[in-house]
Amino acid sequence: MGEAIVIWIIVALVSFLLLYYVIRTAIDESGLNRNLEEVKELLKELRSKESQGEKVERSEGSDKGVEE
């Protein structure tokens, strides 16, 4: 009886890890994630320009269109 519980726990743990890996990979490969990475890069560039003393014009819109 005790062996069955240990085996069940091991199988459940491996199943959860596999499920986590599959979901994480799907999120990392999604288009939304690529767009978020692009936004992060743009923000880093703006931050570095501001820290170097360059004037950065802020606006509501963007010069680029949204890709879907």
Mean pLDDT of 30-45: 90
Query: How high is the mean pLDDT of the chain?
Result: 85
Instruction: Give me the domain span that covers residue 35.
Output: 2-51
18 vs 34, residue with greater confidence: 18
Contact 51, 45 (CB under 8 A): no
Output the DSSP codes for 4-67: HHHHHHHHHHHHHHHHHHHHHHHHHTSHHHHHHHHHHHHHHHHHHHHHTT------SS-SSPPP
**Total domain count for the chain?**
1
Mean pLDDT score, 7-24 = 97
Q: Residue 68 pLDDT more than 50?
A: no
> Is residue 57, in this structure, part of any structural domain at all?
no
Within-domain flag for 24: yes
DSSP 52: T
| pLDDT tens per residue, range 55-67 | 767 666 555 554 4
65 within some domain: no
Residue 26 lies inside a defined structural domain of this protein:
yes
